[in-house]
Amino acid sequence: MLYSKKGKAIRNRFRIAPGDAFAYALPCGGTLLRGGPDTKGDRRSMDLWILKLQREATRIASRHRIPEFYVRFKAPMAVARKLFFTNSSVVYLRGMVRPILQDEMGHGLLHSTRVGLDAATLIDVELMSSPLSREEVERLMVLGLVAGLLHDICRNESNHAESGALEAARVLQSLPMTREETRCICQAIRNHEAFVAPVVSDRPWFQLVSDCLYDADKFRWGPDTFTHTLWHMMDHQKLSAHELAAKFPWGMTGIRRVMETFRTATGRQYGPEIIEIGMEIGKEVYRYLLQFIRDNSHDQ
């Protein structure tokens, strides 16, 4: 539950009123709502003590350096952001997915937006010395943004990469995409899971979008894990602070493993640092969590 400064509970300010939009049922469970200016996602609330831990984790993260990727590639990032806010397909898609991409497991709209922006940035960086025209590069960046927004659309499914790819194909029918572009995006979504061998494509631009989506998604295993994802997962799974502390070392091991899996040259160069910074933050968060448990042991 969220609270105002005066301690009053703030109930869903973003609830969708009947008639604001029409529903589009997803086979993987959720409902996609289209149309209407008020189709904002239903914001989940968290327990206050989890919010407190998340706030402290964010404070810890703010003391750490910014990963080199985000310092060096500000220009491609600005292009990605411009496309995110101006490309008509991306703008339309953002409105479509907003109601279903909730942060239950930390894989909601914030996560998908960051993945899309980083995927588009990676595409631009990877193509810096290619003979493609600016228009062609930006079209591929749009595919990266779209893939990012859709990649976790079926996050609650057991095989969410495959289900997401199938669902994305359905969603993309309402966007001005060619069949090849749709196939490219779906292939990228199908390939985005960590520690699963990807399907290799003989088409370089399919491979590029796929690899950039993967790397952008795994960049989230850095600081985002501790400022965002962890707390939403914890809240969703109703974990206690003790249970989180017990799982923490195991989780850190998994994060370390992803360092070896980046697929683009840019990802291999800059991704491990993003993960390393995340792990530095994680170690401090873990110490704070243990202290928090000690301080609150009388309440447990």
Q: Compute how many residues bind Fe ion; rule: CB under 5 A.
A: 2
- Angle (nearest 5°) at CA 205 between 204 and 211: 90
- Looking at the Cβ atoms of 152 and 224, the one nearer to Fe ion is 152
CB-count burial class (<10 Å; 0-12, 13-18, 19+) for 216: buried
What SS3 class is residue 78? Answer: helix
Binding part of the chain for Fe ion, among 69-77, 96-104, 149-157, 174-182 by CB under 5 A, reads 149-157
Binding part of the chain for Fe ion, among 31-39, 141-149, 150-158, 282-290 by CB under 5 A, reads 150-158
Please report, for residues 118, 202, 212, 215, 290, the alpha-carbon distance to residue 70 in angstroms, rounded to integers and kept in the order given: 9, 30, 15, 14, 31
- Looking at the Cβ atoms of 16 and 184, the one nearer to Fe ion is 184
d(CA 213, CA 192) in angstroms, rounded, equals 7
Query: Which residues, numbered 179-218, are part of the site for Fe ion (CB under 5 A)?
Result: 217
- State in angstroms the smallest separation of the CB of 239 from Fe ion: 20
What SS3 class is residue 214? Answer: helix
Binding part of the chain for Fe ion, among 72-80, 128-136, 145-153, 180-188 by CB under 5 A, reads 145-153
- State in angstroms the smallest separation of the CB of 15 from Fe ion: 26
- Looking at the Cβ atoms of 215 and 217, the one nearer to Fe ion is 217
CA distance from start to end of the chain: 19
- Looking at the Cβ atoms of 216 and 241, the one nearer to Fe ion is 216
H-type alpha helices, the chain: 48-62, 68-72, 74-86, 88-97, 109-126, 134-150, 160-171, 179-190, 204-219, 223-224, 230-236, 241-258, 265-295
- Looking at the Cβ atoms of 118 and 217, the one nearer to Fe ion is 217
Asked if 152 interacts with Fe ion (CB under 5 A), we say yes
Asked if 224 interacts with Fe ion (CB under 5 A), we say no
- Binding to Fe ion by CB under 5 A, coded x per residue (else -) over 94-133, reads ----------------------------------------
Interface residues with Fe ion (CB under 5 A) are: 152, 217
